Structures are given as structure tokens and as C-alpha cells.
Amino acid sequence: AMYMFNRQLTWLGIGLVAAVELALFDYQRWRKLVVPAMAFTILTVIVVLVMSEIRFNARRAFFAGSVQPSELAKLISILYLSVWLYAKREFLKDLSLGLIPLGVILGVVGGLIYQQPDLSAAATVLMLGGLLFFLAGGDLKQISVLLVIAMVAAWLVVSISLTGQERVSDFVAGIKDPLQASYHVRRSFEAIVNGGWFGVGIGKSLSKVTGLPVPPTDSIFAVVVEELGWFGAVMLIGMYSFLIWRGLVIARRAPDMLGTLLASGLVVWIGMEALINMAVMVGLLPFAGNALPFVSAGGSNLVTTLAALGILFNISRQAGDATITD
């Protein structure tokens, strides 16, 4: 009965160690380490495609589903793109030195993740790349071209992928009539309605033991709402909002543009993951399979998210030191 709890505590301990270490690690040193880090990440994504077992019709993890390289790829992609855009900031308006190399970088990482297949992780990497390009001062015309290319690519992926077609068709049907939504979303609605204003009580969810798909991971928000009610859901959303606000404040106060890009990318990534997960559970987005940061069971997402907070703490600390020095 305590298996999942003990397992999550183990990953929490690992993640806290990583967060403390990265909080003390000068983020400027990533400028020298980010290339080997990205090479290692791409290698792990390739290895998982070749050597991992198939679980739920996908090859995404090592060690019986415990370690997912795609979660590491999101974090390292933010670090790599921030460093790359910071180094190339004077040449971003040059098509051959700005948009095209960025497209190649995002295409390689996103394409490898898509092959698992993990549509949501690939889309997350592409969206974060576009955001960082914008924050780094990319030309609006190039950003418009990037958006058009991304929309065309997304349409092609959905057209080719049977999974993508099914998820979009279920989403459209659910928007027209919630009773025609996918089984997963209908069970999520059931859990949310059962929760009412203040929930049925912690640990007393019925949906999680009567057929709600993957309640510890993708569907955890529905369980939270059922057990803590509308009030608990608003409190959780409020905590995510506070985290995003503080992250953007850290980005604004960062000592340099690299710190701004890193802080913005990391906090927007966490907020994006949370928003997508919650929106999917209430039928506002097609099913994506994103974890709910800090809440969903799973070691890879928890460790990488805590590592991101560690980097944010380091940027904040250096901003404070710079203010004191000034």
C-alpha cells in the first residue's frame, strides 16, 4: 500500500539534492556545459527509442517506466536555447544565423521525442523555443514565419498520426457535447462534479478506484478536485500563479540577459505543463499526457522540475548579490 508513496519520497529526495546543488551552481557556467549536456540528452533519447521496452504503445522510459529522457530534454533544451540565443543575440535578425539554426535545433530534439511517440513533449519543446526566441529579441517577421511553420507542422503531425487524429476528434466532440467526450475526460468530469465545493476528503476519491484512467499521473488534477473540491482547485491554481509571478520577477531582476532567458523559460515551462494538464482534465484542450508539476506521481518530472527551481534560486540569489554590491 505504501509502494507509490515511498517511491515518490525517494524521487523527492533526489530532486531536492539536485535543487540545492543547482541553487549553489553559478548559472553562467552552463555556457560551457550546455553543449555536452545537450549531446548526452540527445543520446539518451536515441537510446530509449532503440533499447527501451514498449509501454502503453510507446517507447519513452528506462527501468520499467521510471526514467523518461523526454523530461530531461525539456529542461536541457531551455538551458541550451537560452545560452545559444544569448551568444547569438546580435545576429538573430539574420535568417541564416537566427531562425534557420533555431529550427534545426528544435527539429532534431522535437523530432526525436515525437518518434517515441510523445506529442505533448515535442510540442512543449517547440513552443518554448519560440518563446525564448521572442524574449531574446527575435525579429517579429521571423517569429511570424516560425509560428506559421509550427502550425503547418502541427497540422501534418495530426493528419499523419492516428493518435493525434483520435485526440483531436474526441476533443471537438467533447466541445460540442461533454457527454460525447472521450471516456477519460468523461470520468474526469465525474470526479470534478463529485468534489463539489469542498471535496469528499483527502484519500476518499471514488473515481480513482472505479475506472478513472491513470489517476496518479495524468489524471491527478481530477482526483485533487474530487478530494479537495472547487476550493482546493482554486488554491492549487493560485500556488502555480504565485510561482509563475515570482519566476517572472526573478527574470526581470536577473543580472544579465542569460539569466532573464533562463528564468523566463523555466518558469513558463512549469506553468505551461500545469495549464495543459488542468485544461485537458476539464475538456478545454485535446488530451496531451502532460504531468502536473510537483503533484503527479513520477520521478523524471519531479526531479527535473525541482532542478529548474534550483536554477531559478541561483539566478535570484545572484540578482540579490548584485543589488547589494551596487
Looking at every residue in the chain, the average pLDDT score rounds to 81
- pTM, rounded to two decimals: 0.84
- 31 φψ region: left (φ > 0), alpha (ψ -120 to 50), beta (else): alpha
Q: Which residues contact 237 (CB under 8 A, 6 or more apart)?
A: 278
Output the pLDDT for position 87: 82
Q: Give the pLDDT score at 265.
A: 92
Q: Which of these ranges, 83-87, 166-170, 171-175, has the smallest mean pLDDT?
A: 166-170
Q: How confident is the model at residue 240 (pLDDT cuts 50, 70, 90)?
A: very high
Q: List alpha helices for 63-98, DSSP H.
A: 69-87
Q: Could you give the CA distance from residue 312 to residue 318 in angstroms, rounded to a whole number?
A: 10
Question: Tens of pLDDT along 267-320?
Answer: 999 998 999 899 988 888 877 778 899 999 888 889 999 999 999 999 999 886
Tell me the C-alpha distance between 10 and 31, whole Å: 31
pLDDT in tens, 204-224: 999 988 888 888 988 999 999
Over residues 246-282, the pLDDT tens digits come to 999 999 999 999 999 999 999 999 998 999 899 988 8
Residue 171 DSSP code: H
CB-CB contact of 199 with 232 (8 Å) = yes
| Chain centroid offset of residue 109 CA | 14
Q: Are 11 and 299 within 8 A, CB to CB?
A: yes
**Least confident among 90-94, 167-171, 249-253:** 90-94
